[in-house]
Chain A
Amino acid sequence: MPEEIIESFNVKGLQTLSEKGEVDEALMPELSDDEIKKIYELLILSRTFDQRALSLQREGRIGTYASILGQEASQVGSAFAIDKTDWIFPSFREIGVYINMGYPLHMLFQYWAGDERGLRTPEDMNIFPICIPVGTQIPHAVGAGMAAKYKGDKIAVVVYFGDGGTSKGDFHEGFNMAGVFRLPVVFICQNNQWAISVPREKQTASKTLAQKAFAYGFEGIQVDGNDVFSVYKVTKEAIEKAKSGGGPTFIECFTYRISDHTTADDATRYRTKEEVERWKEKDPILRLKLFMKKKSLWTEQYHSDVESKAISMVDEAVKISESIEPPKPEDMFIYTYAKLTPRQMKQMKESRWQR
């Protein structure tokens, strides 16, 4: 065989909504004015929740918390395309996805304050509990995709992870299986440029993360993760493709983590203020506001109504979560197995008199 090119790939990038609030009409997804306003309200609610969580942590009212500041469009834009019957496998930085799906806000505060009961997903939605070890939720989503396909359920499985997660073995094993079995899975990477202190370029020598998908036999695309329209459009298309038997898609949301990794981190140790300031100019909410203003969908009054509503929802959620009685020690026993072991029964009694 003479030397020849036997395979080549093109990696697409997508931006619909610019930093100045201008849209490329040809790329604009179908969204009514009401839907655009709904997206804006979810972005504001997510940010309001996030900022409150940070201050509650500083006051010692919740534990370590992972902020989503700067990544709201990646989360709200993608989750806005997810149906209630779809399955979601989050990492630990997806508060915006939970909020989008209508997860009770007080339960999120309850969880971050150290009470597992906050992670008992309500029966009318399918969000798997927060996954702390990086990237390990990817094979779970693949298994759920296999199960959905076997059962003939017309659903998509959406899994979230970060740029750090793409270095894990489970990323490879999960992507590979999804490709082989052509599963209805949408892989969403929020590339926020930093895995704690390690920058994206030290995570992989690949130019993009999106291109990794091609090695597994399916499409990867990079979108501006601070552009809620692109994220929504690409996710919606990927979900439709999944549901119609077209197999998996990998979406790289190119975004930025404005906050520290968690409240236990100090990002000034490893990155410059200038870099963070540059990214603040790309703020996802700011550019949507500029767009909406041009379309006469945004006024000061509208914004202040949206913000007060978000604040009162968050206030109420904090109030509810802080009024919930702490769990009983029995709780840690009864969910280990379907039935207590004889030894656990003894230990449970001991935990009562220890108090």
Chain B
Amino acid sequence: MAHMLGLFKEEEAAAAANATEALEQAGYTNENFEILTGSPYPEGSFGEREAKHKLYVFPFLGALLGFSAAMLITGATQAAYPLVVGGKPILSLPAMTIIAYEGTMLGAILFTVLGIFFESRLPNLNAGIYDPRITAGYIGITVQVAEERVNAVEQLFQRAGAADVIVKR
């Protein structure tokens, strides 16, 4: 199998969209090719399917864990060292609530960030074919093709208006 990358100039976004359409007509599905850009484009600009994710679950899970940990720490430490200060109760709920609030938010934030990495499939230092021109504005389309179809896909990219086509075997 060969990995191919078709590079289109920034102003040729329409050409990149045509290339993905041509790839689909040639029998490649949305799962076979990937779009690479140096900045976010409106979803579906190149005919790609909407990316599904479950990021919204992560903060809830983190919040639950954070809240439980904070209540456990505040409750258990006070119970373990029951020193009455100023006649206040040992398990002072208003004070515990403040720390539990911070614990809840900390858990939610930490899990959200973990979720971002997980759902973005990062870190992945050897993710596949890439070209530094992507971050300079070029639009890349990567596709995995069988050896005997490399020439056909290369011509497909060039017909669509690719500025360059890279093949990695």
Whether chain B is bound by chain A comes out as no
B interface with A by C-beta (< 8 Å): none
A interface with B by C-beta (< 8 Å): none
